Amino acid sequence: MDSDVAGKAEGHRVTPNVPREVTVRLRRATLADAKFILEVRNDPVTVHQAAHRTAILEGQHAIWMRRMLHDHSRRLYVACCGPTAVGTGRLDLLGGGRARASFALAPKWRGRGLGHLLVRALLDEARDHGADFVEADVRGLNVASMTVMLRAGFHPISDTLIKMECTL
C-alpha cells in the first residue's frame, strides 16, 4: 500500500491523506463559473443528495445564477486547491447572526479529505460576514457529508433531513 494512503480496508473507503499544506480557498463565483457549478450540481451523486432531487436544466441554471450573483444576502463560491476548482459552496446570510451553508465537491475530488477544508472555509466566510451561528441540511444517508459536518463542529438537531448547526 502506498505511504500516502490511509484507511481501513474492512468496510471503510480507503482515501488518500490530504497533506497539511493543502488548503481550500473560496473565491466568489462569477457567470464564467456557471458551467462548472452546473456540472457539480448535476452529478448523479449530488442530485441524489440534493434537497431538490432532479437535475437542473441549463436555462434554469442561468436564470438562477444571475439572481444568485446579484442577491446580497447570498454568497456563491468556487472552492479551489491552488488554481484548480474542486467544488462549490454557498452561504445564505439569514440575518440576526445566522447563516445557512451548503457545499458540493466535484466527483473527482471526493474522498480526499477536502470536504472538511471546504466547510471550514465556509465557516470562516460566515464569521467574516457577521454570522455566529450556521445551519445546514444533510440527508441522513449521506454519510460522507455527515462526517464532514460533524468534523467541522456541526451537531444534528433533527433526524429526517438532518438539520445541523454550528456555533462559531
Q: Whole-model pTM? A: 0.81
pLDDT per residue of the chain (168 residues) written in tens, 0 to 9: 222 222 222 222 333 445 556 789 999 999 999 999 999 998 888 887 776 677 888 899 999 999 999 999 999 999 999 999 999 999 999 999 999 999 999 999 998 889 999 999 999 999 999 999 999 988 777 888 888 988 888 888 776 556 667 777
The whole-angstrom separation of Cα 116 and Cα 23 is 10
CA 67 to each of CA 40, 71, 75: distance values in angstroms, whole numbers, following the listed order = 19, 6, 11
The whole-angstrom separation of Cα 108 and Cα 50 is 18
Under 8 Å between Cβ of 153 and 101: no
The whole-angstrom separation of Cα 165 and Cα 56 is 27
- What grid cell was written down for 106? 466535484
